[in-house]
Amino acid sequence: MTRTYWLEHAWLGTHVEPGVAVDTKDGRITAVHQDADTPPPGAEILRGLTLPGLANAHSHAFHRALRGTVQVGSGTFWTWREIMYATADRLTPDTYHALARAAYAEMALAGITAVGEFHYVHHAPGGTPYADPNAMGEALIAAAADAGIRITLLDTCYLSAGFGQPPNTHQLRFSDRTAEAWAERCSVLKERDHARIGAAIHSVRAVPADQLATVAQWAEERRAPLHVHLSEQIAENDACRDVHGCTPTQLLALHGVLGPRTTGVHNTHLTAEDISLIGGSGTGTCMCPTTERDLADGIGPAVALQNEGSPLSLGSDSHAVIDLLEEARAMELNERLRSRTRGHWTAAALLRAATADGHAALGWADAGSLEPGALADFTTIALDSVRTAGALPRLGAETAVFAATAADVRHTVVGGRHVVRDGAHTLVPDVPQALAQAVDALRA
């Protein structure tokens, strides 16, 4: 099927171009015509600033159920984790599907066209496999289809509570007992048009060192993305040093986990040598600034990582909010607070993290740009909302990154299909209600 879109303003990677016609066939861009002052006959008109679709490179869909409730009281990442585990205990394939469908619909409304789901709630409580051992992963893949977005299911190996410690009661359902059993289960998962399969190591706490290479090899054989939570907490670094005499990054390097298809998530508390190992190996960095600030993690050295060669991507992780524009500006604004200087990233660089580099981190190298051959995934930001009105269109990227929010997303197109039109989801009729019902079903 062929279709032409007329973009009132288009972000072409380096600048905003007014009046661009984009031809598509079977969900891919076939031609990009600049100087299209008026819409060609029959074209779908996208008013505002159209970007390539946004990639949410790090998600735990079920954390959406925690929003608000985890803001009562004080504590740390570790006390927050207890509340998170209580919700994980209550998930079933059906309730997980309902919640993920609603959360992914919220993502579509926020202009997100692809999500990286870091998925570790594999089995029934206590660790008994479901009749289909991938029932939970399949629920997530189906949820993404129902919400109209792409998914990379980053099936996560999670075997231990800490170095040399068996999984606790909550973690039993995360564990396949060995990395080999994890690999066997994951090998059954099938890719689909909207779904790719990748791997994840939950953290160096959760996968014994002598099993890290099994996960890395599985990803290597499939040329699949491999993600890992890395040095989000100082306690993880301390425990790793006590047991292995090195940092988590050094341990990953030693066991062949780092490389251009690998993404470290958070990369918060790193030594200078860690930064060189990550950057020098081409390992990516997924920053999740709204979660990192919510959980009082600290501010990761994203500038230094990028300078050493680590491509940056962005994720909403715990879904304290789902807003990739906020993630993008938060990365820059955190750095401003720390350094007391401005302009560490241009709006173009921040958009690159939110689009092309985010997609690449999820194994969708053919998405994230408005050019022939790319997937026809678009996000259109209103330039006439109360937040964005008055900006010069040629500064549309700066306006989108530094002033717009998810509420300004007017259209989301995935593979040439309008998933969000004029701010309304076309597949999930009432997203707030779907969220409320799905969250309510998980309350104790």
Report, as residue numbers or ranges, the catalytic residues: 266, 317
- Whole-angstrom Cα distance, residue 301 to residue 307? 10
Specify the residue, 317 or 332, whose C-beta has the smaller distance to Zn ion: 317
Q: Where are the beta strands (DSSP E) in 343-416?
A: 378-381, 409-414
The distance of closest approach from Cβ of residue 292 to Zn ion in the complex, given in angstroms and rounded to an integer, is 10
CB within 8 A of 375, min separation 6: which ones?
27, 28, 29, 53, 364, 366, 367, 415
Specify the residue, 119 or 150, whose C-beta has the smaller distance to Zn ion: 119
Name the residue whose CB lies closest to Zn ion.
317
Specify the residue, 9 or 58, whose C-beta has the smaller distance to Zn ion: 58
The distance of closest approach from Cβ of residue 27 to Zn ion in the complex, given in angstroms and rounded to an integer, is 30
Specify the residue, 230 or 414, whose C-beta has the smaller distance to Zn ion: 230
Specify the residue, 314 or 420, whose C-beta has the smaller distance to Zn ion: 314
Question: How many other C-beta atoms lie within 10 A of the C-beta of residue 260?
Answer: 12
The distance of closest approach from Cβ of residue 59 to Zn ion in the complex, given in angstroms and rounded to an integer, is 8
CB within 8 A of 353, min separation 6: which ones?
287, 311, 312, 313, 314, 328, 331, 345
The distance of closest approach from Cβ of residue 400 to Zn ion in the complex, given in angstroms and rounded to an integer, is 26
Residues in contact with Zn ion by CB under 5 A are 317
Contact 23, 29 (CB under 8 A): yes
358-to-288, 384, 422 alpha-carbon distances in Å: 12, 27, 25
The distance of closest approach from Cβ of residue 372 to Zn ion in the complex, given in angstroms and rounded to an integer, is 35
Contact 286, 361 (CB under 8 A): yes
SS3 94: helix
- Residue 429's Cβ-count burial label (10 Å; 0-12, 13-18, 19+) is exposed
Tell me the backbone φ, ψ of residue 14, rounded to 5 degrees. -125, -25
- Whole-angstrom Cα distance, residue 193 to residue 269? 37
